Amino acid sequence: MAYGIETRCIHGEDGITREHAYGSMGTPIYQTATFAHPGVGQSTGFDYTRESNPTRSELERIVSSLEKAYDTVACASGMAALSILLELFENGSHFVCSEDLYGGSVRIFSTIGANRGLTFSYVNTADAELVEKAIKKETKALYIETPSNPTMQVTDLRAMKALAEKYGLLLIVDNTFLSPYFQNPIDLGADLVVHSGTKYLGGHNDALAGFLCSASKDLADKIRYIYKTTGGCLSPFESFLLIRGIKTLSVRMERQQENALKIANWLKEQEEIKGVYYVGLPEHPGYEINKSQARGFGGMISFHTDTAETAKRILERVKVISYAESLGGVESLITYPMLQTHGDVPAEIRERLGITDNFLRMSVGIENGDDLIEDLAQALKGE
């Protein structure tokens, strides 16, 4: 029987909870660095936690099921997952990337990636013609974030797969914003999917994690070798927290999306708000493409205020909403990308993308939607 995604969030592909010792409903935490061998040349299947651990393996199986991946490795953070990703490529490899990309990704590409002899071009990947023009003989991969962070650009993943096949490239997708509950890039042709598991998958702002999902055995084998060699693995306890968080992924995502659409429509009506960017609004330029490749719109909103003073007033006056980095948790957060998530992006690029001193990004939580609107209203009006 093929289980729905809501069931797989809780039980995994094949009812993993039935395998737990003593019928435990909660996942056992194997807080150990090493495992004893039954005999010479024999193994229980687990030898050393840097390579594999039963708690982490259960998490990896669940995420592989949700992303429809061949295999997944759970890493200490999203950046640890990107570090493994970069090791797949040889000196001289070139990437074509979404121009509106999480600032931490830009930072690791421009420093560690550049030091390894990798090069990166950034274009508006919502325009397939621009992507094709940026491809050169050294190009090895397309790196796509959709919806993008933080301006919510939507990229047609089927069009990107067509280009990847035409030029023999890997298609890599950061699926953090929509999570596997709303979007499955591997179904659309992606070879690799990256997640900051800290965000929607964890869902409670209490654990750092990252995932690198692979669509083929060849990529999975290479990644597993790098993974055990470099050691950026997720701890057993954090693995337990992520398993627990994923159990409520479906209900959280539905509530966050419901709240986000309500807030986005309210923001549109405020005279101090000059632009609202939410892929669930029919007027969003990527609305139809997102509908064609995803099952939902998520809980991320960005917007421009009339002045920098208004933006700062909101940040300093919110009460229910917290002025904080990160996203995807049950608590609503509001962020100043110019200074926080995208501080490492060159100023001229930020300005061109609209990541200015009057630009805010909001991660909508699962609180009462009217309470969130009331909080924004009092902060916006400064009353």
Residue of 199, 252, 255, 350 with catalytic role: 199
Contact 304/275 with Cβ under 8 angstroms?
Answer: yes
Three-state DSSP class for residue 214: strand
What's the one-letter identity of residue 202?
G
CB atoms within 10 A of CB 245: 26
Least confident of 48-52, 193-197, 307-311, 337-341: 337-341
φ and ψ at 141, to 5 degrees? -155, 150
Return the axis-axis angle of helices 236-246 and 54-67, rounded to nearest 10°: 40
Q: How far apart are CA 236 and CA 65, in angstroms?
A: 20
CB atoms within 10 A of CB 248: 16
Contact 68/192 with Cβ under 8 angstroms?
Answer: no
Task: Name the CA radius of gyration of the chain, rounded.
Answer: 21
- Tell me what percent of the residues of the chain surpass a pLDDT of 70: 97
Instruction: Tell me which DSSP letter residue 24 carries.
Output: -
pLDDT score at 17: 66
Helix (H) or strand (E) holding 72: strand 71-75
Segments making up each domain of the chain, as ranges: 5-246, 249-381
Q: How many helices (H) and strands (E) does the chain have?
A: 15, 12
174 is catalytic: yes
Helix (H) or strand (E) holding 376: helix 369-381
Q: In this predicted model, what pLDDT tens digit does every residue of 6-57 receive, in sequence order?
A: 999 998 877 666 778 888 989 999 999 999 999 999 999 999 999 999 999 9
At residue 116, does pLDDT exceed 80?
yes
- Tell me what percent of the residues of the chain surpass a pLDDT of 90: 88
Question: Would you state the structure tokens that stand for residue 5, as one six-digit string?
Answer: 């995604």
50 is catalytic: yes
Q: In this predicted model, what pLDDT tens digit does every residue of 228-255 receive, in sequence order?
A: 999 999 999 999 999 999 999 999 999 9
Residue of 174, 181, 336, 361 with catalytic role: 174
Q: In this predicted model, what pLDDT tens digit does every residue of 144-196 receive, in sequence order?
A: 999 999 999 999 999 999 999 999 999 999 999 999 999 999 999 999 999 99
What pTM value is reported for the model?
Answer: 0.96
φ and ψ at 176, to 5 degrees? -60, -45
- In the numeric block, the tokens 């096949």 are attached to 165
At residue 346, does pLDDT exceed 80?
no
pLDDT score at 52: 97
Phi-psi region of 136 (alpha: psi -120 to 50; beta: other; left: phi over 0): beta
At residue 354, does pLDDT exceed 80?
yes
Beta bridge partners of 144: 173
Contact 122/99 with Cβ under 8 angstroms?
Answer: yes
Question: Would you state the structure tokens that stand for residue 162, as one six-digit string?
Answer: 């067509």
Question: Would you state the structure tokens that stand for residue 78, as one six-digit string?
Answer: 């999203």
Q: How far apart are CA 214 and CA 93, in angstroms?
A: 19
Q: In this predicted model, what pLDDT tens digit does every residue of 214-232 receive, in sequence order?
A: 999 999 999 999 999 999 9
Residue of 8, 100, 102, 181 with catalytic role: 102
Question: Would you state the structure tokens that stand for residue 156, as one six-digit string?
Answer: 């047609």
What count of Cα atoms within 13 Å lies in the side-chain half-sphere of residue 367? Answer: 18
Instruction: Tell me which DSSP letter residue 323 carries.
Output: E
Q: How far apart are CA 249 and CA 154, in angstroms?
A: 22
List the CATH code of the domain at 249-381: 3.90.1150.10
φ and ψ at 329, to 5 degrees? -85, 175
Contact 327/286 with Cβ under 8 angstroms?
Answer: no
b/e per residue 108-121 (b: at least 16 CB within 10 A): bbeeebeeeebebb
102 is catalytic: yes
- The CATH class of the 5-246 domain is alpha beta
CA–centroid distance for 209 within its chain: 11
- Categorize the per-residue pLDDT at 339 as very low, low, confident or very high, splitting at 50, 70 and 90: confident
Residue of 50, 61, 107, 228 with catalytic role: 50
Q: What is the mean pLDDT of residues 121-133?
A: 97
Average pLDDT, the chain: 95
Q: In this predicted model, what pLDDT tens digit does every residue of 246-281 receive, in sequence order?
A: 999 999 999 999 999 999 999 999 999 999 999 999
Instruction: Tell me which DSSP letter residue 124 carries.
Output: -
CB atoms within 10 A of CB 104: 17
pLDDT score at 229: 97
Beta bridge partners of 300: 363
Contact 12/61 with Cβ under 8 angstroms?
Answer: yes
Contact 336/295 with Cβ under 8 angstroms?
Answer: no
